[in-house]
A = this chain, B = another copy of it.
Amino acid sequence: MNQDQSDRLDVVLVSPRNPLNIGAAARAMANFGFAHLTVASPYAPHWREARSAVGAPDLLQNARETESLAEALTHCTLIAGTGTLTYRKPEQRVVALPALAPLVQRELARGGRAALVFGPEKHGLTREDLSYCHLLVEIPTDVRQPSMNLGQAVAVCLYELSSRIGPTEAPGNAGHASVPLPTEATERAPALRTPHALSATLDRLAELIEQTMVAAGYSPAAMQTANRHDLRLLLRRLPLAEPDTRRLLGLFRRILWRLRQF
């Protein structure tokens, strides 16, 4: 992975608790050449303590802080949540960690921006958190002790990305030729030489479609939370590029406007 590419990978920690783990995550980032850390809805005192620790690397001082996970991801185009499958039935594509590098590399080679998301120590990412992710990355661990320490999980994932991704040619055309990729139907779609849509755009689109559902009386109010969740998952499963989403946004804005005229 070249410098330009590792500069377009964000590590996102969701509500980390233990300052030592936050420090360990930052250290692993420095070890493997990644600089962009975001902490989403942190516990203020723990986060202050981690940040002010003696010897905390620069990237911890410069870390971004956001109120929500959605806000942390707005500018990303490929989002991978980490976790184990032991306690969960995944709702998105699952990728074993050793297979992650080519997917990330392709998105970075197209000029996209990737995020690797880690949940809180106690329970990991929630179903809601994962609905913002295109992929669930599974670290292959022993069934008798599947759950990893946060700092160690970050180290293992970043080691995998930095050691598996070789130097690539210029964005736009080279990534495809040099990286062997798993065959899947979506990869043949014409939009795929450009990066995926921004997370923020998908959120805007989901919101608009939801308003349209409500305006059209599509489903009872009690179903709205479930619909919102499913919509978020659906939009991340589709290989939508920015031009696609602009078209869809225009369409739904128009529909909504018409619906509200009745």
Contact = CB atoms under 8 A, between A and B. Distances in A.
A163 interface: yes
A31 to B, nearest CB: 4
Interface size class of A (residues with CB under 8 A): 20 to 34
Interface in A6-61: 20, 24, 27-28, 30-33, 57
Interface string A207-235: 00000000000000000000000000000
Interface stretch (A104-112, A140-148, A178-186): A140-148
Contacts of A159: 97, 139, 156, 159-160
A216 B262 CA distance: 108
A124 interface: no
A32 B149 contact: no
A98 interface: yes
A162 interface: yes
Interface string A99-139: 00000000000000000000000000000000000000001
Nearest to A145: B30
A192 interface: no
A152 B30 contact: no
B142 A33 contact: yes
A29 to B, nearest CB: 9
16 contacts: A24-B149, A24-B152, A27-B145, A27-B148, A30-B142, A31-B145, A31-B146, A31-B148, A31-B152, A32-B142, A57-B145, A96-B163, A97-B163, A140-B162, A155-B155, A156-B159
Interface of A: 20, 24, 27-28, 30-33, 57, 96-98, 139-142, 144-149, 151-153, 155-156, 159-160, 162-164
